Amino acid sequence: MSDILTMAMPKGRIFEEAVELLRKAGFPLPPEFDDSRKLIVDVPEANMRFILAKPMDVPTYVEYGVADVGVAGKDTMIEEERDVYEVLDLKISACYLAVAGLPGCEKKGINPKVASKYPNLATKYFKEQGEQVEIIKLNGSIELAPLVGLADRIVDIVSTGRTLRENGLVELEKIVPITSRLIVNPVSYRMKDAQIDEMVEKLAAVVEEEKV
């Protein structure tokens, strides 16, 4: 097995914070990393290769071993239930998952419709609450669903709360706090343990420093 460490990075809102954290931990990421459209970036100085994936797909790349490690939101970990190790809470991109809807939607009807990017998580949550709902899977702009009558409620990420506010929606229940995690392929963890341990140590030191 090659000793190059491949890391799957989530494109989008977690990306910037993850790159900043890696740089603080001493990984020499080139400037092209920040605004390039390249999906694979080699960093030979660090003996690393980065692959840039959709956030929800990062655990998949890591489970199949095409990436040794990855940065994944706890939300995707809960939704995807992939066979990977979660080795470090990076404490970045903090947000939470919540149930929301239009004011008054808490008056529960029969078999209400719930829109979400997280159908597995939402199904499990409502089962635990003992409420029967119909889950409608959407891929983004979830807040639109109750506004146009596609769903009664939504299960989605709340970060600043701005999207809910600006669309006249209210939060009904908090489900779970979310941060990004460093995840590892179990086989890679055996084969490249020295490299991975070193990465975990460096990142853990920065996470500890950043603690307020």
Give yes or no for residue 63 binding ligand PRP (CB under 6 A): no
Residue 13 or residue 124: which is nearer to ligand PRP going by CB? 13
Give the tokens for residue 134: 């119909």
Among 4, 46, 157, 204, binds ligand PRP (CB under 6 A): 157
3-state secondary structure (DSSP) of residue 95: strand
Residue 5 or residue 95: which is nearer to ligand PRP going by CB? 95
What's the distance, CA 167 to chain centroid?
24
Residue 36 or residue 159: which is nearer to ligand PRP going by CB? 159
Residue 76 or residue 185: which is nearer to ligand PRP going by CB? 76
Rounded (5°) CA angle 156-160-165: 75
Give the x-and-dash track for 82-121 against ligand PRP (CB under 6 A): ----------------------------------------
Give yes or no for residue 148 binding ligand PRP (CB under 6 A): no
Of 126, 124, 162, which Cα lies nearest the Cα of 143?
162
Of 66, 59, 25, 50, which Cα lies nearest the Cα of 182?
59
Scanning residues 163 to 192, which ones bind ligand PRP (CB under 6 A)? 163
Torsion angle defined by CA atoms of residues 76, 82, 86 and 90, in that order, rounded to the nearest 10 degrees: -20
3-state secondary structure (DSSP) of residue 99: strand
Q: Which residues in this chain contact ligand PRP in the complex, by CB under 6 A?
A: 13, 140-143, 156-163
